Structure 1
């Protein structure tokens, strides 16, 4: 039997700590661009240092009522933020919001808090190591991710996100009307699957306009109830 073609190898929580940085944002929110710039800097700095820091920009849809439908927004991402709000005991949703490793949240433009949270996360130990590999033959509009983990905790899920860098949008309406926004690490596709085995495959549909040269797959293991993230890894769709 012929082994399927593979593309890329994961970098992530094989041994030490890691930081999954989720930003909830919107193109319709005028306080979000500074947080998105912070997320870009976090990801670029981590790449230069070779640190396992994984940045994800989730665009929510509840700002669309102002007249600018964010082309990256998804109601599922708003629902994800709402689950965090309930877990943290917050009174409601807000943007920009950053969540690090599912365990600490703060205003996304607060670089001091972001740095402190990431440093603390990197000093921790991954309890569920995760490795990812890609099937290069899955097709242009589908990403097939093979994963291998340590023994997962009970009620754990594997989140798989496809993120894209270097996106530019001209904003015509809403609070950012007239601005050109450059956004990185934008979540273009996302799915969660229950972890009942230490290895398996997840397939994700990706949008037809995804630039594979600027995209990565981020996987992270999360407690379904407590929301704590216990392992993470990433792999570029087209390795350099």
Structure 2
């Protein structure tokens, strides 16, 4: 585990067939949004990313509403290896959690479940416990996503447009929408993981947050040109802007419309 404050790192700057939703448990049941803050420059992170892969794979097999997201932070980039998936916005998201948790501390790998429970991301036992607890907690805020447009091919201009619908969103609710991709590989030449080929799943490739004032609306994401839609999922989750508690989640696989 590495604490950013102890490394001295500094941030550089703060379809033919209809798409299908993830086949999960009924909407009145619990769910778990599992966010992990990680970096290719951190030697403690690959084991935690294996845990995240197992969490997502097991949830798919069991049809459980568990949604895994790997946010690559950028404060490791000046320490030997620039992570190609890192974004200052993801570091800012981790900072917001640190303020809410009252720790003021950043570290990798950090796992956060439903915006309220945090722990070291490689801790399988803590992860299993937090997810099990989340799945047994009923939700009263339904959320549905439907894919309206997904530009095919490669190159600039790839976009993903979704409609969302919810009921009884909390005041000051924020809808987070992420495109996550599985099966990515990177050869790391420098830094703590020098000489390793890292295979990473559930990597956040695009992310947007917007305020929710009405029960329905639309959101558009600009996807990276190298995104493989056959390995990609769009995850949406509704979150309190104050205490960061996540109150609803849903997902749509882009593979359903991949050509």
Same-fold call, TM > 0.5? yes
Moved over 3 A (4+): 10-13, 136-140
The aligned counterpart of 2:28 is 15
The aligned counterpart of 1:71 is 84
Matching of residues 1-240 of structure 1 within 5 Å: 6-11=18-23, 14-136=27-149, 138=151, 141-239=158-256
Alignment partners' CA distance in 2, 1:31 and 1:221? 30
Shift of 1:14: 1.7
1:143-184 Cα deviation digits (max 9, x unpaired)? 001111111000001000000000000000010000110000
Shift of 1:91: 3.4
For residue 52 of structure 2, give the secondary structure of its aligned residue in structure 1. Answer: helix
Alignment partners' CA distance in 2, 1:209 and 1:239? 18
| Structure 1 unaligned spans of 5+ | none
Alignment partners' CA distance in 1, 2:213 and 2:152? 27
Shift of 1:7: 2.3
Shift of 1:239: 2.1
TM superposition score normalised by structure 1: 0.95
1:6-57 Cα deviation digits (max 9, x unpaired)? 4223556721100000000000000000000000000000000000000000
| Cα pair distance change 1:143/1:137, threshold 3 Å | closer
For residue 232 of structure 1, give the secondary structure of its aligned residue in structure 2. Answer: strand
Alignment partners' CA distance in 1, 2:140 and 2:209? 19
Counterpart contact for 1:221–1:229, Cα < 8 Å:
yes
| Cα pair distance change 1:139/1:194, threshold 3 Å | farther
| Cα pair distance change 1:130/1:187, threshold 3 Å | same
For residue 108 of structure 2, give the secondary structure of its aligned residue in structure 1. Answer: coil
